[in-house]
Amino acid sequence: MFIRRSSRPSTAADQTDSPGPSPSTRGPRRRRARTHRARTTGGALLAVAAMLVSACSSGSATTAAGSAVEPALAPLPKAVPAALASYYAQKPRWRGCGVPGFECATLKAPLDYAHPADGDVRLAVARKKATGPGKRLGSLLVNPGGPGSSAIGYLQAYAGIGYPAQVRARYDMVAVDPRGVARSEPVECLDGRDMDRYTQTDITPDDERETTQLVDAYKKFAEGCGADSPKLLRHVSTIETAQDMDIVRAALGDARLNYVGASYGTFLGATYAGLFPARAGRLVLDGAMDPSQPSRRMNLDQTAGFETAFQSFAKDCVQQPDCPLGTKGTKTAEAGRKLKAFFEKLDARPIPTGDADGRKLGESLATTGVIAAMYDEGAWAQLREALTSAMDENDGAGLLVLSDSYYERDAEGRYANLMFANAAVNCLDLPAAFDTPDEVHRSLPAFEKASPVFGKGLAWASLNCAYWPVRATGEPRRIEAKGAAPIVVVGTTRDPATPYRWARALSGQLSSARLLTYEGDGHTAYGRGSSCIDSTINAYLLRGTPPRDGKRCS
């Protein structure tokens, strides 16, 4: 699935070693540094799109009308199994961790919950204690999505200082890097030079030779992951990470888990509620995913989501004096054709970027750069400037900055483990969207109909998990979480990475869901400038008052 993120991509000046690109300002709405990503498998375009997975799950039931209905996720027993008692009895030993005001600790979880005696995985945890005034409400876990984004990096760079003051006053703000991510035994696959080559692989093959090159790139990526983390790679599923969260909850001394998850973080939070409904506290799922969909369907939905976002960008762009895609009166379809023609030109002849490592801007990096800017309308001005430089001045530097921010590549050519963990989790959670290049070929018309601009590349990017060294252990499932307290599900109507229909679908599955809608652009809604959204969620977190189901904000 695609990486989800609700922030503008960072500029060169913004880039740091922290896990996650960052923020933005545009128009009347203030943007803040975030790293919410929509689930992806692969590496930006190669990672910008290999989304969820598969076509139908083997366990589907069937309605009287003959349509498939995915089975529901079954809750785990309320009592903690004796074999896990020692994990639940842990007490974190907090220490300073280099960022003023934050404390860090390490907890253990079983590598394999089915066989706890087979070894442990170490989980990095960070917190910023409630500042007061007011009665402490417990811990509030945050997760920015991915899968693969560092929750600790997000906490230290944004949530721990940028969440509303009244929320930070009443809650200990807490983050745990999921197993395989950042500080929690990170999955590694390729070094910087190999990742540079990987991200430049042609993602729209025109013939058998180029198809073979793409397949070889996927295989090399998968082999690198398998060689580095052969045991861990079998145990980085969302279900296992949700179980880890319950151990963290117990270690923090909380009877219930309070949680704000964005993008993929909504899938993680919903999974927790499905497994532990009685221990689900105040849960906010922002930029929701639909866990019942097979990956091919989800990839197609997300492809259409990026097309919707591009049309919104194009409509705005042609009203601006510096738009390289047209002028006032230019139809969005024509703007799309112009951009696609530019991509095809780059496919044949990449352009200079001034990069110290000699990278040129080809179709794959350019497409990734454009898609990265679709996550936040605050990045539209930056994208217009980058496209103008590339299309009119033969200078690809601006689009390369956008692409690098998406991949979390720093100025020294080092990559965060985001893309590695992203593929590891996605390819384990669900079967591959496509098993062979021939299957991709047959699906190209549907993907190109969903997005004339991005469809071909996103279809081919969905082939990534076909060559993964570990067989998927998950399947599409509805999540009902019967008995859970009210859960707030947030959807944005023109969200590119987690289409609004997914929020409606998840809210229809969760037995206690309250759907909160933001009518607007960008990925996720909380903390992105809507006073209506923010005040509604704050009231829920602080007073336990959920919104009425179906409330809409703009």
168-212 pLDDT, tens per residue? 999 999 999 999 999 999 999 999 999 999 999 999 999 999 999
Confidence of residue 457 (pLDDT cuts 50, 70, 90): very high
Given a cut of 60, is residue 520 above it in pLDDT? Answer: yes
- Tallying the residues shown for the chain, one arrives at 554
- Residues 34, 18 contacting (CB under 8 angstroms): no
Q: For residues 249 and 252, give the distance between their C-alpha atoms in angstroms, rounded to a whole number.
A: 5
Section 127-154 average pLDDT: 96
**Nearest-CA neighbor of 248 among 101, 109, 425, 93?**
109
Q: Which of 19-33, 428-442, 459-473, 485-499 has the lowest mean pLDDT?
A: 19-33
Given a cut of 70, is residue 56 above it in pLDDT? Answer: no
Residue 147: asked if its preceding bond is cis (omega within 30°), the reply is: yes
> Which one from 54, 523, 530, 534 is the annotated catalytic residue?
523
**Nearest-CA neighbor of 111 among 236, 214, 204, 225?**
236
Percent of the chain, pLDDT > 70?
A: 88
Non-local CB neighbours of 65 within 8 Å, separated by 6+ positions:
none
Dihedral (Cα; 461, 462, 466, 468), 10-degree rounding = 70
Question: 224: burial class by Cβ within 10 Å (0-12, 13-18, 19+)?
Answer: buried
Section 340-347 average pLDDT: 98
pLDDT tens-digit series, residues 19-42: 222 222 222 233 333 444 444 433
> Which one from 263, 403, 443, 530 is the annotated catalytic residue?
263
pLDDT tens-digit series, residues 250-263: 999 999 999 999 99
**Nearest-CA neighbor of 434 among 461, 413, 407, 404?**
461
pLDDT for res 68: 55
Grouping H, G, I as helix, E, B as strand and the rest as coil, residue 496 is coil
Q: Is 263 a catalytic residue?
A: yes
Task: Give residue 113's identity as a one-letter amino acid code.
Answer: Y
Residue 445: asked if its preceding bond is cis (omega within 30°), the reply is: no
pLDDT for res 25: 23
pLDDT for res 69: 66
When divided into structural domains, the chain yields a total of 1
> Which one from 172, 244, 495, 521 is the annotated catalytic residue?
495
Tokens of 337: 């054709």
Q: For residues 443 and 300, give the distance between their C-alpha atoms in angstroms, rounded to a whole number.
A: 10
Q: Which position has the token pair 């707030």?
A: 488
Q: Is 235 a catalytic residue?
A: no
Grouping H, G, I as helix, E, B as strand and the rest as coil, residue 273 is helix
Given a cut of 80, is residue 331 above it in pLDDT? Answer: yes
Q: How many CA atoms lie within 13 A of 115 on its CB side?
A: 4
At 493, give phi and psi (nearest 5°).
Answer: -65, -30
Q: For residues 403 and 306, give the distance between their C-alpha atoms in angstroms, rounded to a whole number.
A: 16
Tokens of 37: 């990503």
Tokens of 481: 């979480």
At 26, give phi and psi (nearest 5°).
Answer: -160, 130
Residue span of the structural domain in which 224 resides:
1-554
Grouping H, G, I as helix, E, B as strand and the rest as coil, residue 103 is strand
Distances (CA, A) of 335 to 300, 301, 317, 326, 375: 22, 22, 9, 6, 19
Average pLDDT, the chain: 89
Q: For residues 238 and 475, give the distance between their C-alpha atoms in angstroms, rounded to a whole number.
A: 11
257 membership: H or E segment, kind and range: strand 257-262
Non-local CB neighbours of 420 within 8 Å, separated by 6+ positions:
148, 186, 187, 188, 189, 190, 225
- Residues 479, 506 contacting (CB under 8 angstroms): yes
Q: Torsion-angle region of residue 201: left (phi > 0), alpha (psi -120 to 50) or beta? A: beta
Section 458-473 average pLDDT: 96
Non-local CB neighbours of 554 within 8 Å, separated by 6+ positions:
518, 519, 520, 530, 532
Q: How many CA atoms lie within 13 A of 542 on its CB side?
A: 19
Q: For residues 363 and 342, give the distance between their C-alpha atoms in angstroms, rounded to a whole number.
A: 8
Q: How many CA atoms lie within 13 A of 151 on its CB side?
A: 33
Q: Is 322 a catalytic residue?
A: no
CATH number, position 68 = 3.40.50.1820
pLDDT tens-digit series, residues 72-89: 999 999 999 999 999 999
